[in-house]
Amino acid sequence: MADIYATMNEQPKEVQERVVEAMRLRAEEPEMQTMLERYLASIDVPQGAKALEIGCGAGAATRKLAELPGVSEVTAIDPSDIFLVSASKALSDLPIVKFHQGDARSLAFEDEKFDLVLSHTVLCHVPDAERAVREAFRVLVPGGQLVVFDGDYATMNVAVSDFDPLQCCVDALIRNYVHDPWFMRHLPKLVERCGFSVRKSDGHGYVKLTDPQYLRTAISRGADQIVSQGTIGPELAAALKAELIRRINDGQFYGVIVFGSLIAQKPL
C-alpha cells in the first residue's frame, strides 16, 4: 500500500491533521530533540551557508537548522500544503527561512546553489529516494554536505512477549506510513552511488518506557489502518487501544526505534 506521507495532499483532512499532530508530538519529545541536536552539532557549517531542507514537514528540524552558527538562509520545501502552512506559522519569527512547495526528486533550483542539504525523517517515505539524493548532489556546491537523519523502521517494536497484538498495530503503521522501512541500511551505498563520500555516520537509540506520546499515536493509527483494511472490526481496535492505555498506566509499556544519521560530502 502507498505510504500516506507520499500522498498527503490526497488524504482526507482529518488524516492530514492527525499526521501533523503525531509529528508535533514526536518533535516535542526530549529524546527526539536530543538526537536532532546531536547530529546537527556534527555538521561543519561554513560562514554564510545557504541551506536547503527537503521535506520540512511541520518544521521540526527547520528552526534548529536556521539557528546553526554560520547559516545565513534556509530554503524549506515540502509537497504537502498542510505541512507548509503549519511550518510557516510555527517559524514566522525567522525571516531567514523561506518556504516553497516542491518535490525533492525534482528540485526547482539551479546547480550548485546550496552549501548544505538536510533531510530529517523524510527519505524513507519517498518512492525512488535515489532521485532525491541525486538532486541534492546537483544543487550542492563542491564540498557541500548532505545530512540525512531517518528511522530504521524495521527495528520499531513495542512487543513485550511473543505474538503481542500491539506489535501488529505497529507493523500496520509501518506498512502504510513508511515506503522503505530498511532505507537507512541502504543509504551509505546509495549516497556513494550518487557521487558522495560518507564523512560521518552514527546510530541513535530511541526508547520509551513512560509517557509514550508519539508511539501511542502510532499504535492507535496502526489499529485504525487494520480496521480500514477490513481485517478486524472497530470493537477489536478499541480493545487494542484500551490495552495500550492499560500498559501505560500500569508501567508495562516498552517501545523502541533505532534512528541513524549520515553526513555525506560532494567532492571538491
Q: Over the stretch 61-74, which tens digit does the pLDDT of each residue have?
A: 999 999 999 999 99
Kindly state whether residue 227 falls inside one of the protein's structural domains.
Answer: no
Residue 2 confidence class, pLDDT cut points 50, 70, 90? low
Pairing of strands 255-265, 140-157: antiparallel
Kindly state whether residue 250 falls inside one of the protein's structural domains.
Answer: no
**Cα 116 from Cα 103, distance rounded (Å):** 17
Residue 18 confidence class, pLDDT cut points 50, 70, 90? confident
Mean pLDDT, residues 30-59 taken together = 95
Q: Over the stretch 62-117, which tens digit does the pLDDT of each residue have?
A: 999 999 999 999 999 999 999 999 999 999 999 999 999 999 999 999 999 999 99
Cα distances from 62 to residues 123, 125, 160, 173, in angstroms, run 16, 18, 35, 25
Q: Over the stretch 127-184, which tens digit does the pLDDT of each residue have?
A: 999 999 999 999 999 999 999 999 999 999 999 999 999 999 999 999 999 999 999 9
**1 pLDDT above the threshold of 60:** no
pLDDT of residue 23: 85
Pairing of strands 97-101, 114-120: unpaired
Q: Is there a contact between 53 and 32 (Cβ–Cβ < 8 Å)?
A: no
Kindly state whether residue 107 falls inside one of the protein's structural domains.
Answer: yes
Mean pLDDT, residues 196-203 taken together = 97
| Structural domain containing residue 57 | 4-152+180-205+259-265
Give the CA-trace dihedral at 158, 213, 88, 84, to 10 degrees: 40
Kindly state whether residue 173 falls inside one of the protein's structural domains.
Answer: no
Kindly state whether residue 187 falls inside one of the protein's structural domains.
Answer: yes
Kindly state whether residue 95 falls inside one of the protein's structural domains.
Answer: yes
Q: Is there a contact between 150 and 180 (Cβ–Cβ < 8 Å)?
A: no
**47 pLDDT above the threshold of 90:** yes
**Cα 197 from Cα 228, distance rounded (Å):** 43
- Identity (one letter) of the amino acid at 130? E
**pTM higher than 0.85 for the full model?**
yes
Residue 19 confidence class, pLDDT cut points 50, 70, 90? confident
* Residue 216 CB burial class (10 angstroms; 0-12, 13-18, ≥19): buried
Kindly state whether residue 142 falls inside one of the protein's structural domains.
Answer: yes
- Whole-number average pLDDT of the chain: 95
Percent above pLDDT 70 for the chain: 99
Kindly state whether residue 129 falls inside one of the protein's structural domains.
Answer: yes
Residue 93, domain CATH:
3.40.50.150
Q: How many domains does the chain have?
A: 1
Residue with the three cell numbers 514526536: 26
